[in-house]
């Protein structure tokens, strides 16, 4: 089966400073890939390149076989297929929750209001926030805002979802409600690329862990062997910093404890 | 004297009214064009394109550094000489006020747009919004709160500055007042009326601006 997403010899630099160096990464449809690595290793930039928020400098990037680094690429089309959720949610502050959710479906996809609204409400109900549909973002907690930001992306019916440290700005007690939503998506078989520092979550949800440092991919393996037996010294050090190796949960089913 | 003064005002009212209409027309058109041009300027400036920003910068500085009066003379007397292009004094005044006002409003719009979190832009792009949609649905509506109070203040300045149009021969409310004074020597009375005219147009505007600013900074 060919890859849904394929980075090949992919390069990106900010000025003279290379941030992504010869990246090779394939993601199959339905796969959940978690990208780990120290801050500044380029993992967020990798996601942003896939959404066209950063431009690439060289190499290949394909989505369902289609080259995205072609100057003729219509990023508006691509972005409808690749949803992105940000660290600080970025809901539109002047709109109600429902208007936030419907902006893309109505104005970009020109869908019928009734149908789009039904979908938005069904998704809101799924994340337990249907009663907030008329609220404004400032009236909601961080965890609620982030769940709504996820729904906003889902309303576009994307093929892939990108999560860029989506729990990093949240109070600890709100992290789980957001991770739960992502985990449900993983169970449904959605293709996910996740950048996170939540190690237990990464281990539970990932089909594959990609470990990056200084703009390179150093390891990519299944979570069990990555967390129990990292191959590179850098990955080992990284995991030790999270003091994770010492207190591994015994039975990491695809479930959050 | 008092009765004759009142009489004079009443008699002059139609004439003053015509001048006032001229003043309001110039100011009103200037405000509309300033707003449209200013929003365009602000949006273009927020795109952060180097050569475009340079161009906008030159435009801004030209209108900041050169007095409006000089611009009026330059276009009114200069265009016919250098380009064999003469425009009526009314439209010349509208043009200069609009260009000047647009540079002022434009800087306000640019600042308001820049004060929005960067993530708003990226979130809008990430759901596939085009540039027009991004500004129309996401960025400008949120910038509106921040730009409205200072923009209203610019409107009052446009109204007051419109009085310079007298100097290129527009018969506005001030010119009419001067004509009446020449005939009757009732300068205190007429200038008093002009004072009230400008005050009652500009004061509500600046009061509204202050009220909005107070309301929105607390929200």
- Per CB-CB distance under 8 Å, the chain B contacts of A164 are none
Average pLDDT of B59-76?
A: 93
The residue written with tokens 């800087």 in the block is: B107
pLDDT, tens only, A194-228: 999 999 899 999 999 999 999 999 999 999 999 99
Q: pLDDT tens, B32-57?
A: 999 999 999 999 999 988 999 999 99
Q: What DSSP designation does A55 have?
A: -
pLDDT tens digits for range B75-91: 999 888 888 888 899 99
Give me the residue label for tokens 């540079």: B103
Distance (Å, whole) CA A127 – CA A180 = 9
Domains held by chain A: number: 1
pLDDT digit string, tens, across residues B159-184: 999 999 988 888 888 888 888 888 88
Q: Which of B126, B130, B137 sits opposite A84 (nearest CB)?
A: B126
Give A102 to chain B, closest Cα distance, Å. Answer: 10
- Given this structure, which CATH class describes domain B2-218? mainly alpha
Q: How far is B3 from chain A (nearest CA, A)?
A: 57
User: If you write DSSP's letter for every residue of B77-137 in order, what string do you get?
Assistant: IIHHHHHS----HHHHHHHHHHHHHHHHHHHHHHHHHHTS-HHHHHHHHHTT--HHHIIII
Q: Which long-range contacts (CB under 8 A, 24 or more apart) does A242-246 make?
A: A242/A197, A242/A199, A244/A199, A244/A200
Q: What pLDDT shows up at residue B1? A: 47
Percent of chain A with pLDDT over 90: 74
**Domain assignment of residue A147, yes or no:** no
What distance, in Å, lies between the first and last C-alpha atoms of chain A? 34
* Mean per-residue pLDDT, A125-136: 94
Q: How far apart are CA B214 and CA A218, in angstroms?
A: 55
CA A11 to chain centre: 20
Q: Do A53 and B126 touch (CB under 8 A)?
A: yes
Query: Which residues of chain B does A84 touch, with a Cβ-Cβ cutoff of 8 Å?
Result: 126
Cα Rg of chain A (Å, integer): 18
Spatial strand order of the sheet with A32-36 comes to A82-85, A160-164, A191-195, A32-36, A208-213, A216-221
- Rounded distance, CA A201 to CA A172, Å? 13
Pairing of strands A191-195, A160-164: parallel
Q: CA–CA separation, B39 vs B31, rounded Å?
A: 12
Domain positions in chain B are: 2-218
Q: How far apart are CA A188 and CA A78, in angstroms?
A: 22
| Complex ipTM over 0.95 | no
Higher pLDDT, A245 or A71: A71
Q: What phi and psi values does residue B31 have, to the nearest 5 degrees?
A: -65, -45
In a domain, A51, yes or no: yes
Say what the pTM is: 0.85
Residue A113 within a domain: no
Is the residue at A156 inside a domain?
Answer: no
Q: What is the CATH number of the domain that holds A202?
A: 3.40.50.300
Give the model's confidence band at B139: pLDDT under 50 very low, under 70 low, under 90 confident, else very high: very high
A174, part of any domain: yes
Q: Is A80 on the interface with B (CB under 8 A)?
A: yes
Bridge-based pairing state of the strands A208-213 and A32-36? parallel
């Amino acid at each position: 089966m060919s890859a849904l997403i394929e980075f090949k010899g992919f390069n990106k630099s900010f000025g003279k400073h290379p941030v992504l160096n010869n990246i090779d990464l394939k993601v199959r449809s339905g796969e959940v890939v978690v990208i780990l690595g120290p801050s500044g290793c380029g993992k967020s930039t990798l996601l942003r390149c896939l959404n066209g928020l950063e431009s690439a400098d060289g190499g290949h990037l394909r989505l369902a076989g289609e080259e995205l680094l072609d100057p003729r690429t219509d990023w508006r089309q691509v972005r409808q297929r690749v949803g992105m959720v940000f660290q600080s949610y970025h809901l539109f502050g002047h709109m109600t929750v429902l208007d936030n959710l419907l902006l893309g479906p109505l104005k970009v996809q020109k869908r019928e209001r009734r149908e789009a609204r039904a979908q938005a409400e069904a998704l809101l109900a799924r994340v337990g926030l249907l009663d907030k549909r008329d609220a404004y973002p400032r009236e909601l907690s961080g965890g609620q805002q982030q769940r709504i930001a996820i729904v906003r992306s889902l309303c576009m019916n994307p093929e892939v979802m990108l999560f860029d440290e989506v729990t990093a700005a949240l109070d600890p007690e709100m992290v789980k409600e957001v991770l739960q939503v992502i985990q449900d998506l993983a169970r449904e078989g959605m293709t996910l690329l996740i950048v996170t520092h939540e190690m237990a979550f990464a281990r539970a949800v990932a089909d594959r862990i990609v470990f990056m440092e200084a703009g390179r991919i150093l390891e990519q393996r299944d979570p069990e062997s990555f967390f129990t037996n990292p191959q590179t010294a850098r990955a080992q050090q990284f995991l030790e910093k999270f003091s994770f190796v010492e207190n591994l949960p015994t039975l990491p089913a695809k479930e959050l404890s | 004297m008092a009765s004759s003064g009142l009489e004079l005002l009443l008699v002059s009212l139609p004439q003053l009214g015509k001048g006032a209409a001229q003043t309001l027309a110039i100011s009103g058109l200037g405000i509309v064009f300033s707003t449209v041009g200013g929003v365009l300027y602000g949006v273009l400036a927020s795109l952060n394109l180097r050569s475009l920003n340079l161009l906008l910068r030159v435009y801004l500085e030209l209108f900041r550094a050169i007095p409006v009066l000089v611009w009026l003379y330059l276009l009114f007397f200069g265009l016919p000489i250098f380009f064999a292009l003469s425009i009526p004094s009314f439209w010349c005044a509208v043009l200069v006020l609009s260009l000047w006002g647009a540079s002022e409003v434009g800087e306000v719009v640019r600042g308001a747009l820049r004060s929005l979190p960067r993530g708003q832009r990226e979130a809008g792009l990430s759901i596939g919004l085009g540039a027009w949609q991004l500004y129309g649905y996401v960025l400008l509506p949120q910038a509106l709160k921040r730009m409205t109070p200072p923009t209203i203040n610019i409107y009052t300045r446009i109204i007051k500055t419109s009085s310079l149009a007298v100097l290129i021969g527009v018969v506005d409310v001030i010119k009419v007042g001067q004509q009446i004074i020449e005939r009757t020597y009732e300068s205190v009375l007429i200038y008093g009326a002009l004072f009230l005219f400008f005050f009652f147009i500009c004061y509500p505007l600046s009061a509204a601006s202050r009220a909005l600013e107070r309301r929105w900074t607390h929200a």
